[in-house]
Amino acid sequence: MSYAGDLTPEAAYELLGSDAGAVLVDVRSDPEWRFVGVPDVSAHGKQPLFVSWRTGAPGAAEAFVAELAAAGVRPDGDTPVVLLCRSGVRSVAAAEALAAAGAGRAYNVVDGFEGPLDADGHRGGSGWRAAGLPWRQS
């Protein structure tokens, strides 16, 4: 593993509440944010950052790191950056990109916001929402 590690949704929420500098980055796409919902960390006095991970796009890693830096999240090794996607796949790639850029504390949220597909081809059995963590429609 080339990034800091995987966190359960509950552990990610706890870290965001216990570390004032911790940042949540939702790497899904705009339609996912608008139609599926977004994590709500306002109880911790925070708002998630919304920066899409563009899988397979040329220069995706560099563009992602640059977009985060422009938003004030620099891969300096100190800041805990918690990355969330739909099922925990894109967020691993994003965590790896941040770690390669120097972030020592880039974390992936296991099962993401909705979790992987179940035997019937549906999502929602695991992840942030299924854990009962705060979320809202955007």
Contacts 24+ apart (CB under 8 A), 95-99: 95/3, 95/4, 96/2, 96/3, 96/61, 97/60, 97/61, 97/64, 97/65, 98/3, 98/64, 98/65, 98/68, 99/2, 99/3, 99/4, 99/75
| Full-model pTM | 0.95
pLDDT in tens, the chain (138 residues): 689 999 999 999 999 999 999 999 999 999 999 999 999 999 999 999 999 998 777 898 999 999 999 999 988 778 899 999 999 999 999 999 999 999 999 999 999 999 999 999 999 999 999 999 999 997
CA dihedral for 40, 89, 95, 27, sign (positive or negative): negative
Q: For 69-107, how does the pLDDT look when each residue is reduced to its tens digit (9 = 90+)?
A: 999 998 877 889 999 999 999 999 999 999 999 999 999
